[in-house]
Structure formats: C-alpha cells, structure tokens
Amino acid sequence: MKKALLVFLFAVLFLVGCASEKSAIRDTKVNNEIQALIGAARTAIVEARSAGAEKYAKEFLESAESKLIVAEEALKKDENEVALNFAKKAKEEAMTAKNKALAGAMLEKAGAAIKAAAAAGAENSAPELYNRAEKYLLAGQKKKH
C-alpha cells in the first residue's frame, strides 16, 4: 500500500513538473513572438523615417512610436496580450506612415516634373500628355488628403 502511494505521488509530481515545463515553454514562445513583432515594428519605424514620414505622415509615425513604447513597457511587465496588440498596431501604423511618405514624395516629384515640363513648353508641344499628367497629379493630391 505504501509502495503504491509512493508511486502515485511520484507520478503526480512528475506530471506537475511536466505541466509547468510546458507552460514555461509556451510563455517563452509567446515572449519570443512578441519580441520579434516589436523588432519588426522598430524596423518599420526606421523605414518610415527613411521614406520621409516626418515630413509627409508625421501623425502616423508619432503614433507608431508611442504604441511601440507601450508594447515594450507591457512586455517588461509580462502583459503579453497588451504588448502583442500594441506591437501589431505600431507596425501597422509605421507601414502606413511609410506608404504615405512614399506617396507624398512621389507627388512632390511629379509636381516638380510637371513644372519643368511647363517651363520647357510641353503645354504647347504635347498638350494632351501635359494635360493628362496634370490631371493625374491633381487626382493623386486629392486622394492624399
């Protein structure tokens, strides 16, 4: 009887140990996933800055940076769900900032090209192309806002 009780206790202790080990492994995987997402958000913010987000999409860039800080603080406090959500949002907003910056820069270049074409006399020598270019530039500027 004592032998059976000892075997039972050993089995229970073994199972508890395995369960806590699985929990620790799961927590480590979640933590690694969040850290990877935070790293991706950080990279997206750097790319947004490089694309000119401070000029063309400052509000999205600042929002992404704020959300990244919240994600990092939440991770330090083991608030994994909060960290995960804010890291995702930070990455999304940084990507939006980058895309808006790229679009803004392209519109600016297109405007400069149209001005250069006008100075070269494109309105007279190629009016259809010039007017179409102006039309597309205006449409792009309206979409941006």
Mean pLDDT of 104-124: 90
pLDDT number for residue 142:
82
User: Could you give the CA distance from residue 25 to residue 56 in angstroms, rounded to a whole number?
Assistant: 43
Kindly indicate the confidence band of residue 110, based on its pLDDT and cuts at 50, 70 and 90: confident
- pTM confidence score: 0.73
User: Could you give the CA distance from residue 50 to residue 29 in angstroms, rounded to a whole number?
Assistant: 31
Reply yes or no on whether the pLDDT at 60 is more than 60: yes
Instruction: Give long-range contacts, CB 8 A cutoff, 24+ apart: 69-77.
Output: 71/34, 71/37, 71/38, 71/41, 72/38, 75/31, 75/34, 75/35, 75/38
Q: What is the pLDDT of residues 76-108, one digit of tens each?
A: 999 999 999 999 999 999 999 999 999 999 999
Any idea where the domains of the chain sit in the sequence? 19-144
